[in-house]
C-alpha cells in the first residue's frame, strides 16, 4: 500500500474519531427518545404492538386538530413567504444602508422571539381589552381564533423569511436583470423567466422552515387560544399532562409520530431544493 | 414611479405591523389611568420571587449548551474538511433530524425514555446517573435536549463560516511552522471563525432563553417558564416581562455580533 | 448603422463620470473605449445600452435619438463582464431568451439558437447549464445571446477581463472575426491597452469622462495626442531634457520636437524600443536588470547622473547585455513628445 493511501486512511479514521462525540451524544440524547417514542406509539393497551393508537389519532377530535394545524402552518408559510420576500426586496433595494442594517438586525431578534411573551404582546394589542381593540371598536375574541393565531405567528415568520431570502436576493446579479432588459424583457418578464425561478429553491426552503415553525409552535397557542382552536401540539400537551383522562399517553406518542411523519414529508421536498439553489447562487 | 410606490407601501405596512404592538406594549407597561406614568411593573419583575434564580439557571444552561455545541460540532466540521469528506452526509442528516422532531414530540420521547430507563435500571448503578441528570438545579437532561435543538442552526452557521476560510491551507501552514493541534485549533482556526462562532452562540443562547415547551412539560423552572408562572393575573407584569425578554434577545444579538465583528 | 454620442454628461453624486463626451462610431466599425477605471468608458457604453441616462447630451443610433428609449426597446446587444448568463436556463434557452420574450415559436427559437451556437463555436452545447461551462465558453454563449436579435450595435463591456490570459487572446480574435463577418458596428470597452490595440479599427482613449484621442491603433501608439495617451498606451520613459528652439537636448543628443514644448525644462517621452544600448567599458550607464520576453528583452538601465531608463533590445542580445555591464545609451533620431518636467527619469509602466 502506498504511503499516500495510508495517510488518507489514517486521516479518515481520525476524522471519524473527531466526530465520535457528536455521533454518540446524538445517539443517546436524540436516538433513544425517538426510538422510545416510535415504540410507544405502536404499543397497545395490555401489551404487544399494533396500530390502535395511530388509528385513534385518525379519528375525532385528533384528526380535526391535525388538520387545523396543517391549515394554520400552510397559511403562515404562504403568507410569511410572500410578505417576507417583498419586505426583504424593499429593504435591499432601498439603497439605505441604515435601513438594511436595522431591518436585518430586527429580523434576527424577532425571528427568535416566540413562545408566551409573543402571546402577551399581542394580547395587550389586540386582546379583548387590548389597546387597538378598544381604539377600533373591535368586538371581543378578535384575536382568539384561527386567523388571529396566523397573524401572531407571522410576527416571527416574516422576519425569519427575511433572513432566509436576503442572501438569495443579494445573490441575484444585476447583470441578469440588465441582460434580460437588453434582450427586450420587461420587469415582469425578468421576474417570471429568471428572478423567481432562480429564487424558487430559496423561497421554497424558507416556506418549509416557516411551515415547520408554525406546525411545531405550542407555547404561543397555549397562552392565547387555550382549546378554542384545536391544534395537534395542544392535544399532545393535554394528553401528556393528564388534562384529559389517564391512559392517553400512548395517544400522545402516536400524535407525535403523526407530526414527525408530516415533518419528514416536508423535509423530503426541502432538501433537494436546497442543493439546487446553492449551485445556482454560488 | 411604480417601483417607489410598492416599496413605500411594503415598508409602511411592515412598519405598522411590527412596531405598533411593540409601542403599545411598552406604553401599556409604563402607564395606567389610575397611577399615570410609572416604571412599577419593571420594578415588580426584579422583586418577584425566583427572578434571579431562574434567570441565572437559564444563563448557566445557555453557557453549557454553547460550550457543548461548539465542542461537538467544530471537531466534526473540521474533520470533514481535513480528510474525512465521507462524514459530511452523515453530519448533514444528523443535524437535520432535530428539525423534523418538533419540541413537543421530542419532550414526549424524553419523558417516556426517562421513565422507562428509571424503571429498567432501578437495580443498577446507572439509576443514580439517571436521577442526577434530572437534578432540578442543573438539569443535564435539559442541556442535552437543547444541544440537540440548537445543533441544526449552530452547525449551519459554523459551516458557512468555515466555507469562507481555507481551513486546509491554514492548518498545513500552521503545522508546517511547528504548531501543535490544540494551538492550531484555538489560535489559528477559531480566531478566523469568530463571527460564525458568535452567531452560533447567539442562536443557541436565544433558543435556551426562549424555550418553554420542553422545560415546562418536564417541570423545570427556567426563565421562560418562570415568566409564565409569575405573570398570573398581573397584566402589566406579564407584558413587562415580554418586553424584557425581547430586549434580552436584542441585547444578546448586539453583544455577540459585536464580539464577532471586533476581529475584523 | 452609426452611433453618435453628443455632449454626454453624467455624474454620480460628486463624481463626474462623463464630462461632455462626443464621438461618432461609423457603420461596421469596431471601436475600443480605452482608459483607466473610472474614466467613464463603461458609463458611456451603458448610455448606449440604455442602462444609464445622461444628465445632458444625447445618443443617436442610426440617426434616431434614443436617449429616452428604455433599455428593453433599444436595438443593441450587450455582453457583460462576467456571470451574466441566466443560471436557471440552459445554454439554448439563454441564447433564445430574447426570442422567447418576443413570443417567437419554439422551432424558430431552437433553430436560431443552434445557428448562433455554431457561429460562436459551441454547436452541441445547447443542453448544458451555465455552471457546467468554463468562463470562456460562458462568454461565447453571452456573445451568441447578444447577437440573437440581430441588433444594430454590439456592446462589449470588458468581456474578457475575467478570463485567463490564453483564453483572452483566443476569444478576442474570435470576436474580431465574427464582427468582421457580420459587419456589425461594435463598441468594445477595455482597460487593457494591448487588447484595444490588437482588435480595434479605432481606439478612443478616455480620461475623466473626456475624450483624449480617437485614432487607429498605430496612430495612438506612435503619435499620442497627449502625454496621458502616451503614458497609458505602451511603456514610456521620462527623460530630462532642455528645449532650445525647434529641438530638445537629451543625453547630449539634439532631437526634433513633435508639437509645442510646455517650457524650457521638460520631460522627453521616449518608448523603450527607441532606446539604443551598446556595451562600452567607459559607458555612462550600466544594466541593472534584464527581463527576457522571447522576441525582445527589456533592460532596466541605471544612468550615471541618477535616474533610470527602460530599453527594449532584440531577444538574442539578452545574453550579451547582462546585468552589471557598463553601456552607452543613445536615442533613435526622430521627433519626440515632451511633457512638463516631473520625475528625474522614472519610466512609467502601463497600468494594465
According to the model, what pLDDT value does residue A82 have?
93
Judge contact between A230 and A61, C-beta under 8 A: yes
Number of domains in chain C: 2
C-alpha cell recorded at residue A1? 500500500
Q: What is the DSSP letter of C336?
A: B
Cell 531577444 belongs to residue: C315
Helices A174-182, C135-147: crossing angle, 10 deg rounding: 30
Interface contacts (A, C; CB < 8 Å): 78
Residues 139-198 of B with CB under 8 A from A: 144-145, 147-148, 151
Q: Please report whether residue C136 resides in a domain.
A: yes
Helices A115-126, B2-30: crossing angle, 10 deg rounding: 90
Instruction: With CB atoms and an 8 Å threshold, state whether A125 touches B91.
Output: no
According to the model, what pLDDT value does residue C138 have?
92
Chains B+C touching (3+ CB pairs under 8 Å): no
Q: What is the DSSP string of A205-268?
A: HHHHHHHHHHHH--HHHHHHHTTSS--HHHHHHHHHHTSS-TT-HHHHHHHHHHHHHHHHHHHH
Among B258, B65, B260, B59, CA closest to B154: B65
Query: Any idea what the CATH number is for the domain that residue C107 is in?
Result: 3.40.50.300
The span from the CA of B26 to the CA of B240, in Å, is: 7
Instruction: With CB atoms and an 8 Å threshold, state whether B147 touches A25.
Output: yes
Q: Within C3-76, where are the H helices?
A: 41-49
pTM exceeding the 0.90 threshold for the entire prediction? no
Q: Residue C287: how many CB atoms within 10 A of its CB?
A: 21
Q: Please report whether residue A47 resides in a domain.
A: no
Question: Does position B10 have pLDDT exceeding 70, yes or no?
Answer: yes
According to the model, what pLDDT value does residue C200 have?
92
Mutate to test the interface with C, among A95, A171, A172, A183 (most CBs of C within 10 A): A183
Contacting subunits of B (3+ beta carbon pairs below 8 A): A
**Residue B238 touches chain A, beta carbons under 8 Å:** yes
Per-residue pLDDT tens over the stretch C252-287 = 888 888 877 777 888 888 888 888 888 887 878 889
Judge contact between C92 and C115, C-beta under 8 A: no
Give me the mean pLDDT over the A227-247 stretch.
Answer: 74
Neighboring chain A residues of B250 at a CB cutoff of 8 Å: 109
Helices (H) and strands (E) in chain C, counts: 9, 20
C216 and C248 housed in the same domain = no
Q: How confident is the model at residue B126 (pLDDT cuts 50, 70, 90)?
A: low
C217 and C246 housed in the same domain = no
Edge-to-edge strands of the sheet including C202-207? C76-79, C153-157, C185-190, C30-34, C202-207, C210-215
Among B152, B44, B50, CA closest to B98: B152
Judge contact between C196 and C32, C-beta under 8 A: yes
According to the model, what pLDDT value does residue A247 have?
60
Q: How confident is the model at residue C344 (pLDDT cuts 50, 70, 90)?
A: low
C27 and C61 housed in the same domain = yes
The span from the CA of A60 to the CA of C232, in Å, is: 82
Question: Does position A5 have pLDDT exceeding 50, yes or no?
Answer: no
Length of chain B measured in residues: 264
Among C74, C92, C339, CA closest to C231: C339
**Which domain-ending residue is among C176, C211, C228?**
C228
- In angstroms, the Cα distances linking C302 to C285, C326, C341 are 6, 10, 19
Instruction: With CB atoms and an 8 Å threshold, state whether A132 touches B24.
Output: yes
Among A55, A61, A22, CA closest to A41: A55
Number of domains in chain A: 2
Instruction: With CB atoms and an 8 Å threshold, state whether C86 touches A189.
Output: no
Interface contacts (A, B; CB < 8 Å): 229
Residue A127: phi and psi, rounded to 5, are: -70, -175
Neighboring chain B residues of A26 at a CB cutoff of 8 Å: 94, 97, 148, 151
**Which domain-ending residue is among C210, C228, C246?**
C228
C-alpha cell recorded at residue C155? 456592446
Residue A56 Cα, gap to closest chain B Cα (Å): 17
Judge contact between C269 and C335, C-beta under 8 A: no
Instruction: With CB atoms and an 8 Å threshold, state whether B14 touches A83.
Output: yes
Q: Which residues contact B90 (CB under 8 A, 6 or more apart)?
A: A19, A23
Helix (H) or strand (E) holding B46: helix B40-47
Q: How confident is the model at residue B260 (pLDDT cuts 50, 70, 90)?
A: low
Q: How confident is the model at residue C94 (pLDDT cuts 50, 70, 90)?
A: very high
Q: How confident is the model at residue A2 (pLDDT cuts 50, 70, 90)?
A: very low
Maximum mean pLDDT: which of B70-84, B226-240, C196-210: C196-210
Instruction: With CB atoms and an 8 Å threshold, state whether A12 touches B84.
Output: yes
**For chain A, percent of residues with pLDDT exceeding 90:** 16
For chain B, the farthest-separated pair of C-alpha atoms sits apart, in whole angstroms, at: 78
Residue C249: phi and psi, rounded to 5, are: -95, 125
Neighboring chain B residues of A259 at a CB cutoff of 8 Å: 102, 104-105
Among B246, C129, C15, B179, CA closest to A124: B246
Residue range of the domain that includes C178? 3-228
The span from the CA of B58 to the CA of B225, in Å, is: 10
Q: How confident is the model at residue B127 (pLDDT cuts 50, 70, 90)?
A: low
According to the model, what pLDDT value does residue A150 have?
92
C-alpha cell recorded at residue A176? 441578469
Judge contact between B75 and A21, C-beta under 8 A: yes
In A, minimum Cα distance to C149 occurs at A183
Q: Please report whether residue A256 resides in a domain.
A: yes
Q: Is the dihedral of CA C106, C109, C112, C114 positive or negative?
A: negative
A150 and A31 housed in the same domain = no
Helix (H) or strand (E) holding C243: strand C237-244
Residues 28-57 of B with CB under 8 A from A: 28
C-alpha cell recorded at residue A239? 394528553
A232 and A142 housed in the same domain = yes
According to the model, what pLDDT value does residue A160 have?
92
Neighboring chain A residues of B72 at a CB cutoff of 8 Å: 21-22, 25
Q: Tell me: cis bond preceding B197? Omega within 30 of 0 counts.
A: no
According to the model, what pLDDT value does residue B261 have?
62
Q: Please report whether residue C347 resides in a domain.
A: no
Question: Does position B240 have pLDDT exceeding 60, yes or no?
Answer: yes
Neighboring chain A residues of C42 at a CB cutoff of 8 Å: none
Mode of pairing for the β-strands spanning C76-79 and C153-157: parallel
Maximum mean pLDDT: which of B172-181, B254-263, C241-250: C241-250
Q: Tell me the three state secondary structure of residue B63.
A: helix
Which candidate from B11, B206, B224 shows the least CB-CB separation from A116? B224
In C, minimum Cα distance to A179 occurs at C84
The span from the CA of A78 to the CA of A211, in Å, is: 8
Instruction: With CB atoms and an 8 Å threshold, state whether B102 touches A87.
Output: no
**Which domain-ending residue is among C170, C200, C228?**
C228
Judge contact between A234 and A221, C-beta under 8 A: yes
Neighboring chain A residues of C82 at a CB cutoff of 8 Å: 175
Helices B103-120, A232-241: crossing angle, 10 deg rounding: 20
C93 and C158 housed in the same domain = yes
The span from the CA of A149 to the CA of A225, in Å, is: 8
Judge contact between C209 and C17, C-beta under 8 A: yes
A4 and A108 housed in the same domain = no
Instruction: With CB atoms and an 8 Å threshold, state whether A179 touches C71.
Output: no
Cell 447578444 belongs to residue: C146
The span from the CA of C11 to the CA of C179, in Å, is: 32
Maximum mean pLDDT: which of A141-145, B29-33, C207-211, C347-351: C207-211
A15 and A96 housed in the same domain = no
Give me the mean pLDDT over the C86-92 stretch.
Answer: 90
Q: How confident is the model at residue A242 (pLDDT cuts 50, 70, 90)?
A: low
Q: Please report whether residue A275 resides in a domain.
A: yes
Mean pLDDT of all residues in chain B? 83
Judge contact between B192 and B170, C-beta under 8 A: yes
The span from the CA of C346 to the CA of C134, in Å, is: 41
Judge contact between C285 and C330, C-beta under 8 A: no
Which candidate from B147, B202, B207 shows the least CB-CB separation from A29? B147
Q: Please report whether residue A91 resides in a domain.
A: yes
Chains A+C touching (3+ CB pairs under 8 Å): yes
Mutate to test the interface with C, among A173, A182, A185, A198 (most CBs of C within 10 A): A182
Domain-wise residue ranges, chain B = 57-261
Per-residue pLDDT tens over the stretch C8-18 = 899 888 888 88
C18 and C157 housed in the same domain = yes
Q: Please report whether residue C45 resides in a domain.
A: yes
C210 and C296 housed in the same domain = no
The span from the CA of C233 to the CA of C22, in Å, is: 21
Residue C329: phi and psi, rounded to 5, are: -120, 125
C171 and C214 housed in the same domain = yes
Query: Any idea what the CATH number is for the domain that residue C335 is in?
Result: 2.40.50.140
Judge contact between C335 and C223, C-beta under 8 A: no
Angle at CA of residue A244, ends A242 and A248, nearest 5°: 70
Q: Which residues contact B178 (CB under 8 A, 6 or more apart)?
A: none
- In angstroms, the Cα distances linking B217 to A118, B113, C336 are 19, 14, 91
Q: Please report whether residue C140 resides in a domain.
A: yes
C283 and C196 housed in the same domain = no
C120 and C209 housed in the same domain = yes
The span from the CA of C266 to the CA of C153, in Å, is: 44
According to the model, what pLDDT value does residue A1 have?
37
In A, minimum Cα distance to C95 occurs at A183
According to the model, what pLDDT value does residue B1 have?
46
Q: Please report whether residue C141 resides in a domain.
A: yes
A171 and A72 housed in the same domain = yes
Question: Does position A230 have pLDDT exceeding 50, yes or no?
Answer: yes
Length of chain C measured in residues: 352
Complex ipTM over 0.90: no
C96 and C171 housed in the same domain = yes
C195 and C269 housed in the same domain = no
Query: Any idea what the CATH number is for the domain that residue A163 is in?
Result: 1.10.3720.10
Q: Please report whether residue C349 resides in a domain.
A: no
Instruction: With CB atoms and an 8 Å threshold, state whether B241 touches A30.
Output: no
Q: Tell me the three state secondary structure of residue C20.
A: strand
Q: Which residues contact A235 (CB under 8 A, 6 or more apart)?
A: A61, A62, A65, A252, A255
Residue range of the domain that includes A3? 1-42
Residue B245: phi and psi, rounded to 5, are: -70, -30
Q: How confident is the model at residue A9 (pLDDT cuts 50, 70, 90)?
A: very low
C170 and C245 housed in the same domain = no
> Given this structure, which CATH class describes domain B57-261?
mainly alpha
Neighboring chain A residues of C89 at a CB cutoff of 8 Å: 193-194
Mean pLDDT of all residues in chain A? 82
Judge contact between B241 and B227, C-beta under 8 A: yes
In B, minimum Cα distance to A114 occurs at B210
The span from the CA of C116 to the CA of C154, in Å, is: 15
Per-residue pLDDT tens over the stretch B137-176 = 778 889 999 999 999 888 888 888 888 778 888 888 888 8
Using an 8 Å CB-CB cutoff, list residues of chain A that contact chain C: 173, 175-176, 178-186, 189, 193-194, 197-198, 200, 279-282
Among B61, B105, B71, CA closest to B206: B61
- In angstroms, the Cα distances linking C24 to B236, B251, B261, C214 are 75, 61, 51, 10
According to the model, what pLDDT value does residue A243 have?
55
Instruction: With CB atoms and an 8 Å threshold, state whether C78 touches A178.
Output: yes
Amino acid at each position: 500500500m502506498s504511503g499516500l493511501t495510508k495517510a488518507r486512511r489514517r486521516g479518515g479514521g481520525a476524522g471519524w474519531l473527531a466526530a465520535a462525540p457528536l455521533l454518540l451524544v446524538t445517539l443517546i440524547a436524540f436516538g433513544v427518545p425517538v426510538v422510545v417514542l416510535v415504540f410507544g406509539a405502536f404499543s397497545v393497551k395490555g401489551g404487544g404492538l399494533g396500530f390502535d393508537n395511530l388509528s385513534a389519532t385518525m379519528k375525532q377530535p385528533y384528526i380535526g386538530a391535525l388538520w387545523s394545524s396543517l391549515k394554520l402552518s400552510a397559511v403562515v408559510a404562504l403568507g410569511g413567504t410572500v410578505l417576507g420576500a417583498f419586505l426583504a426586496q424593499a429593504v435591499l433595494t432601498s439603497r439605505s444602508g441604515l435601513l438594511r442594517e436595522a431591518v436585518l438586525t430586527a429580523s434576527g431578534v424577532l425571528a427568535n422571539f416566540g413562545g408566551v411573551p409573543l402571546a402577551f404582546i399581542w394580547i395587550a394589542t389586540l386582546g379583548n381589552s387590548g389597546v387597538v381593540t378598544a381604539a377600533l371598536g373591535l368586538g371581543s375574541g378578535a384575536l382568539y381564533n384561527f386567523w388571529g393565531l396566523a397573524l401572531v405567528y407571522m410576527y416571527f415568520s416574516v422576519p425569519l423569511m427575511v433572513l432566509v431570502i436576503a442572501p438569495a436576493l443579494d445573490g441575484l446579479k444585476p447583470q441578469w436583470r440588465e441582460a434580460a432588459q437588453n434582450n427586450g424583457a420587461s420587469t415582469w418578464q425578468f421576474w417570471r423567466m429568471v428572478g423567481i425561478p432562480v429564487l424558487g429553491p430559496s423561497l421554497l426552503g424558507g416556506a418549509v422552515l416557516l411551515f415547520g415553525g408554525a406546525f411545531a409552535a405550542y407555547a404561543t397557542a397555549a397562552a392565547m387560544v387555550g382549546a378554542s382552536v384545536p391544534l395537534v401540539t395542544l392535544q399532545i400537551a393535554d394528553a401528556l399532562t393528564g388534562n384529559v383522562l389517564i391512559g392517553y399517553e400512548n395517544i400522545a406518542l402516536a400524535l407525535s409520530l403523526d407530526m414527525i411523519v408530516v415533518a419528514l414529508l416536508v423535509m423530503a421536498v426541502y432538501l433537494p431544493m436546497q442543493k439546487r439553489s446553492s449551485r445556482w447562487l454560488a | 414611479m411604480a417601483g417607489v410606490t410598492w416599496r413605500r407601501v411594503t415598508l409602511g405596512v411592515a412598519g405598522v405591523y411590527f412596531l405598533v404592538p411593540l409601542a403599545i406594549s411598552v406604553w401599556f407597561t409604563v402607564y395606567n389611568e389610575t397611577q399615570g406614568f410609572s416604571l412599577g411593573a419593571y420594578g415588580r419583575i426584579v422583586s418577584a420571587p425566583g427572578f434571579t434564580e431562574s434567570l441565572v439557571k437559564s444563563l448557566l444552561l445557555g453557557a453549557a449548551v454553547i460550550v457543548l455545541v461548539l465542542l461537538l460540532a467544530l471537531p466534526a466540521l473540521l474533520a470533514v474538511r481535513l480528510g474525512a469528506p465521507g462524514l459530511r452526509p452523515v453530519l448533514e442528516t444528523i443535524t437535520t433530524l432535530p428539525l423534523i422532531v418538533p419540541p413537543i414530540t421530542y419532550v414526549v420521547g424524553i419523558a417516556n425514555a426517562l421513565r422507562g430507563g428509571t424503571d429498567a435500571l432501578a437495580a443498577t448503578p446507572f439509576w443514580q446517573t439517571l436521577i442526577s441528570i434530572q437534578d432540578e438545579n442543573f438539569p443535564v437532561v435539559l442541556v442535552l435536549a437543547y444541544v440537540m435543538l440548537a445543533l441544526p442552526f449552530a452547525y449551519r452557521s459554523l459551516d458557512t463560516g468555515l466555507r469562507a476560510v481555507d481551513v486546509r491551507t491554514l492548518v498545513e501552514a500552521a503545522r508546517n511552522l511547528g504548531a501543535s493541534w490544540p494551538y492550531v485549533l484555538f489560535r489559528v482556526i477559531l480566531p478566523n471563525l469568530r463571527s460564525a462562532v458568535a452567531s452560533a452562540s447567539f442562536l443557541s443562547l436565544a433558543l435556551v432563553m426562549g424555550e418553554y415547551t420542553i422545560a415546562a412539560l418536564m417541570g423545570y423552572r427556567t426563565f421562560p417558564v418562570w415568566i409564565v408562572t409569575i405573570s398570573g393575573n398581573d397584566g402589566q407584569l406579564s407584558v413587562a416581562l415580554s418586553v424584557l425578554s425581547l430586549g434580552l434577545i436584542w441585547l444578546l444579538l448586539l453583544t455577540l455580533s459585536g464580539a464577532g465583528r471586533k476581529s475584523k | 448603422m452609426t452611433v453618435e454620442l453628443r455632449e454626454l454628461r453624467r455624474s454620480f453624486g460628486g463624481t463626474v463620470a462623463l464630462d461632455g463626451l462626443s464621438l461618432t462610431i461609423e457603420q461596421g466599425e469596431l471601436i475600443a473605449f480605452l482608459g483607466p477605471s473610472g474614466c467613464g468608458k463603461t458609463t458611456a457604453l451603458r448610455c448606449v445600452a440604455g442602462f444609464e441616462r445622461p444628465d445632458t447630451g444625447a445618443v443617436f443610433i442610426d440617426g434616431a435619438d434614443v436617449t429616452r428609449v428604455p433599455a428593453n426597446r433599444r436595438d443593441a446587444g450587450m455582453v457583460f463582464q462576467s456571470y451574466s448568463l441566466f443560471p436557471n436556463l440552459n445554454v439554448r434557452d439563454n441564447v433564445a431568451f430574447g426570442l422567447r420574450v418576443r413570443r417567437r415559436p419554439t422551432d424558430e427559437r431552437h433553430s436560431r439558437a443552434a445557428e448562433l451556437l455554431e457561429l460562436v463555436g459551441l454547436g452541441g452545447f445547447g443542453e448544458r447549464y451555465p455552471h457546467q461551462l468554463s468562463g470562456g465558453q460562458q462568454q461565447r454563449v453571452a456573445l451568441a445571446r447578444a447577437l440573437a436579435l440581430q441588433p444594430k450595435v454590439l456592446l462589449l463591456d470588458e468581456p474578457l477581463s475575467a478570463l485567463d490570459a490564453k483564453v483572452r487572446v483566443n476569444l478576442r480574435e474570435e470576436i474580431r472575426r465574427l464582427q468582421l463577418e457580420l459587419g456589425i458596428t461594435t463598441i468594445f470597452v477595455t482597460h487593457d491597452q494591448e487588447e484595444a490595440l490588437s482588435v480595434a479599427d479605432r481606439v478612443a482613449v478616455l480620461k475623466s469622462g473626456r475624450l483624449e484621442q480617437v485614432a487607429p491603433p498605430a496612430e495612438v501608439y506612435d503619435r499620442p495626442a497627449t502625454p496621458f495617451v502616451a503614458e497609458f498606451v505602451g511603456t514610456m520613459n521620462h527623460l530630462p531634457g532642455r528645449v532650445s528652439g525647434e529641438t530638445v537636448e537629451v543625453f547630449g543628443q539634439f532631437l526634433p520636437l513633435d508639437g509645442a514644448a510646455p517650457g524650457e525644462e521638460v520631460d522627453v517621452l521616449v518608448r523603450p524600443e527607441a532606446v539604443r544600448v551598446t556595451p562600452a567599458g567607459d559607458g555612462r550607464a550600466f544594466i541593472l536588470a534584464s527581463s527576457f520576453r522571447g522576441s525582445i528583452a527589456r533592460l532596466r538601465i541605471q544612468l550615471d547622473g541618477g535616474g533610470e531608463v527602460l530599453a527594449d533590445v532584440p531577444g538574442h542580445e539578452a545574453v550579451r547585455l547582462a546585468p552589471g555591464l557598463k553601456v552607452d545609451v543613445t536615442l533613435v533620431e526622430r521627433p519626440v513628445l515632451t511633457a512638463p518636467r516631473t520625475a528625474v527619469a522614472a519610466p512609467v509602466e502601463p497600468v494594465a
